[in-house]
Amino acid sequence: MDKQYTTDAINIKSYPLNDFDNILLMYSKTSGLIKCIAKGAKKPKSKLGARAQVLFANKLLLNKGKTFDKITQAQGLNTFSKLREDFDKLSYGLYCADFISIFCTDTVDESEKIYNIFYKTLENIGNSEDKKEILLQTLKFQLHILEELGWGIDFGICSCCGTEIKEYSYFSNEEKGNFCATCTKGNIKVQKIPKKLIDFLCTLKETSIEQKTKYDNIADLNTVSICFQFIKKYSEKISGRTQKFTDFNLIAS
């Protein structure tokens, strides 16, 4: 006997199962990452087909299965239409989805918080006015998800001696932490980060994803890009995976 349950979920990836059906990887509000069969999603007149698109949020009724859950009803919650109007917005939205699929594999207990961060970020990226804001929202997203998963960095404090970072932090990807000038001695693989950027990252991490920070308007594209790349590399070190993602504009600039 199948067990039924309802949840809100955002589609992350879609794979064909056969000529008619798709498999959907979704992030759900109640059960974290789930894999479901969207029966008939590939048929031209399927109602489910439209709702099975990547980065759509739906309210679902599901039957729990052994390998895959089966979608029996889907009601659209948000198509994030503004996110789809712009190539950059869509790219960074997909980057966030990929980030979720890598990091949030075993997160049933934190699923509501993670779902809300993901949902709000897709809205924030959609509402962004320029490239800097898109990057800023993606950076906030990464910091908040890492924090939820216990991978957050205490940027303001030396991971070794616990003193407050005064001028520069020396960040080590190998050691997954930041050091003060004294403790970093002899560690050659560190990245020197000025206090200004530390304050910026601390504020983004400590401000809820719904709220704007004092830096939202004053930070420039270069600063946000540097921080984004920095957190991306740190995340890749943790996961041991490189995220397949190319921002051609960032490379050109």
Site of interaction with Zn ion (CB under 5 A): 158, 160-161, 180, 183
- Which among 197, 205, 142 has a CA at the least distance from the CA of 165? 197
Q: Which is nearer to Zn ion, 115 or 170 (CB)?
A: 170
Residue 195 CB, nearest approach to Zn ion (Å) = 15
Q: Which is nearer to Zn ion, 149 or 160 (CB)?
A: 160
C-alpha–C-alpha distance, residues 124 and 121, integer Å: 5
CB 187 within 8 A of CB 176: no
Virtual torsion, Cα 95, 238, 172, 159, nearest 10 deg: 110
For residue 103, what are its two tokens?
Answer: 């990091």
- β partners of residue 33: 27
Residue 162 CB, nearest approach to Zn ion (Å) = 7
Q: Which is nearer to Zn ion, 74 or 180 (CB)?
A: 180
Q: Which is nearer to Zn ion, 54 or 160 (CB)?
A: 160
Consecutive H or E run containing 139: helix 131-148
Residue 161 CB, nearest approach to Zn ion (Å) = 3
Q: Which is nearer to Zn ion, 57 or 158 (CB)?
A: 158
Residue 165 CB, nearest approach to Zn ion (Å) = 9
Show Cβ contacts of residue 82 under 8 Å, excluding neighbours closer than 6 positions: 89, 126, 127
Residue 174 CB, nearest approach to Zn ion (Å) = 16
Q: Enter the DSSP assignment of 81.
A: G
Amino acid identity at 207: T
Count the helices and strands in the chain (H runs, E runs): 8, 8
